[in-house]
Amino acid sequence: MRYLMRQLIGSGLLLGAFAASASAQANSPADDVALRTAYKDLMDAENRHDLTAVEKLVWNSQDTLFVAKAPVGWKGYWGKSDVMQHFHDLYQTHFQIDPDYPSEKIVHLTSDVAETYVPVNITAVYGGYPKPAPFIMVLLWIKTGDGWKMATDIPIPVPPEAAKPAVTK
């Protein structure tokens, strides 16, 4: 009986995951275009150090999260006002993001939540990266009445040894 219950539960979980995945894939191509545009607009605004334009693309929530290099270590900046203050501080020195747009991937988690994945090079004197350094930028987006808004931004530094081509014989 336990075996049967485990099989039913396992099958139910797999079906649930499949259904969620299938429904996530049912989003319109227009959503992908809107997400790609929102991501590019965010990167362009950040590179211009345009706080007003960046603020329009950030989700207005206390749950908004931006993970970044801080004056000491790394930390999470929580809430739109904290995130915007961090952007303000970041923009006081040289800061540049160079995305690899052709490598951008979009995953729709629900019809109103999506994730973007983009390899980038970041130059940020404030963050201790005076020369371009490779990162993987993972953003979560929330679809609002005003379009897609960045809810979470997690730049993941790529270790130097991982950025080198693999050696094969």
pLDDT for position 29: 87
Structural tokens at position 81: 């006002």
Give pLDDT tens digits for 137-164. 999 999 999 999 999 999 999 987 766 6
Q: For residues 149 and 141, is the Cβ–Cβ distance under 8 A?
A: yes
Q: Establish if 133 belongs to a structural domain.
A: yes
Interior angle at CA 100, CA 127 and CA 31, nearest 5: 105
Q: Mean per-residue pLDDT for 89-109?
A: 95
pLDDT for position 17: 43
Q: Establish if 134 belongs to a structural domain.
A: yes
Mean pLDDT of the chain: 85
Range(s) of the domain holding residue 61 = 28-163
Output 9 or 37, whichever has higher pLDDT.
37
Q: For residues 151 and 140, is the Cβ–Cβ distance under 8 A?
A: yes
Residue 26 has pLDDT above 90, yes or no: no
pTM given for the model: 0.79
Q: Establish if 74 belongs to a structural domain.
A: yes
Nearest by Cα to 143 from 111, 112, 114: 112
Backbone angles phi and psi of 80, in degrees to 5: -60, -40
Q: Establish if 76 belongs to a structural domain.
A: yes
3-state secondary structure of 6: helix
The structural domain count of the chain equals 1
Q: Establish if 113 belongs to a structural domain.
A: yes
pLDDT for position 139: 98
Q: Establish if 124 belongs to a structural domain.
A: yes
Residues pairing with 121 in the sheet: 98, 134
Query: How many Cβ atoms are within 10 Å of 97's Cβ, its own excluded?
Result: 19
- The residue with tokens 């099989």 is 7
Q: Residue 58 has what DSSP assignment?
A: B
Q: Establish if 61 belongs to a structural domain.
A: yes
Residue 10 has pLDDT above 60, yes or no: no
Give pLDDT tens digits for 49-82. 999 999 999 999 999 999 998 878 899 999 999 9
pLDDT for position 73: 87
Q: Would residue 73 be called left, alpha or beta, if left means φ above 0 and alpha means ψ between -120 and 50 degrees?
A: left
Which of 3-7, 43-47, 121-125, 145-149 comes out lowest in average pLDDT?
Answer: 3-7
Q: Establish if 15 belongs to a structural domain.
A: no
Give pLDDT tens digits for 127-137. 778 899 999 99
pLDDT for position 71: 78
- For the domain that residue 84 is a member of, what is the CATH number? 3.10.450.50
